[in-house]
Amino acid sequence: MSPEVISTPVVDTVKVPDRARSRAQAARRRKLVVNAARAVLLVAVLGLWETLSRAGAIDPFNFSMPSQIWDQITTWVMHGTAQGSLGEQIWYTLQEALFGWLIGVVAGVIFGIALGRIAFLADVLGPYVKVLNSIPRIVLAPIFVIWFGLGSASKIASAVVLVFFPVFFNAFQGAREVDRNLVANARILGASDRRVTLQVVIPSATSWIFTSLHVSFGFALIGAIVGEYIGATKGIGLLVAQSQGTFNAAGVYAAMVILAVVALVAEGLLTFAEHRIFRWKPANSDS
């Protein structure tokens, strides 16, 4: 072993970090190019939209233009909207979405795990769950406004019905697909049924559940927005509805931009939480 090490040419030991450095450089350069291309694409699309709109090739009344949308956002930020400050509207919508999401997720996980673990429940409730799932649940939003009024309760309710099903089905599937060996092993080691559920089934179902959490937060936002759109006193959905009512296309687009930012931030937070929880998973199993 040692003679080999000694006889290793000096050039080699220099070459290796050299190659590593050039590889790192290439990777950096590629990242830069990708980011630059993204920026160029964005500027091109916005620029094209702006010039076509200004030239009158597309109707600015219907399609607005980026500069008007930007003006609208700054107006909302600086002077507030017709029903209060912009922050208040965002917070209102976010709160409804968050409550609806939490309730939907908790209910979905509990029902999913329960039906996944208890075959009798699954057999009895299975067909009903399927029927409920096949209803286009967004049409319930107007009904919830009638039931719960213009306040936040009706929006939370429509967020809940949208969130519940994807979370439920994933939790159910996750509970069903638990490795039988792990369950057998836990039972041999002395785990009671309750322990098996809490310490084997739920941890192994979490990756299934998390998959649905990403999608379902988007659904919660949709539920809240649609609820607000139909009838509300505050919120981004109301901004959309009012802008539409006053033929303010820029307002509609501005509200959409704000929503997109909110959804992206929420998604980022969720990914961060996921990385913390799944430290036990081998790296690059997803992504």
Partner 1 sequence: MSADTSPAIELRGASKTFRTPSGGLHTAVRDLDLTVRRGEFVAVVGPTGCGKSTTLTLVSGLEEPTAGEVLVAGEPVAGVGDKVGFVFQQDATFPWRTVLSNVMAGPRFRGVPKAEAKEKAREWLARVGLAAFEDRYPHQLSGGQRKRVALAATFVNDPEILLMDEPFSALDVQTRALMSDELLELWEGTGSSVVFVTHDLEESIALADRVVVMTAGPATVKQVFDIDLPRPRKVESVRLEPRFIEIYREIWESLGEEVRITRERGAAHVA
Residue type, 152: S
- Identify which of residues 19 and 281 has a Cβ nearer to partner 1 in the complex: 281
CA distances from 56 to 53, 60, 139, 177 (A): 5, 7, 38, 58
Q: Does 211 bind partner 1 (CB under 8 A)?
A: no
Q: Does 79 bind partner 1 (CB under 8 A)?
A: no
Calpha distance 18→24 (Å, rounded):
10
Q: Which of residues 1-60 bind partner 1 (CB under 8 A)?
A: none
Please state the closest distance from residue 154 (CB atom) to partner 1, in A. Answer: 39
- Identify which of residues 79 and 279 has a Cβ nearer to partner 1 in the complex: 279
| Binding-site member from 32, 184, 215, 261 for partner 1 (CB under 8 A) | 184
CA distances from 175 to 116, 149, 196 (A): 5, 37, 11
Q: Does 200 bind partner 1 (CB under 8 A)?
A: yes
Please state the closest distance from residue 71 (CB atom) to partner 1, in A. Answer: 51
Q: Is 35 exposed, middle or buried (0-12, 13-18, 19+ CB in 10 A)?
A: exposed
- Identify which of residues 12 and 193 has a Cβ nearer to partner 1 in the complex: 193
Alpha-carbon 54 to chain mean position: 35
Please state the closest distance from residue 189 (CB atom) to partner 1, in A. Answer: 4
* Sign of the dihedral through C-alpha 240, 241, 242, 243: positive
- Identify which of residues 85 and 192 has a Cβ nearer to partner 1 in the complex: 192
Chain residues in the site for partner 1 (CB under 8 A): 179, 181-182, 184-192, 195, 199-200, 203-204, 206, 279-282
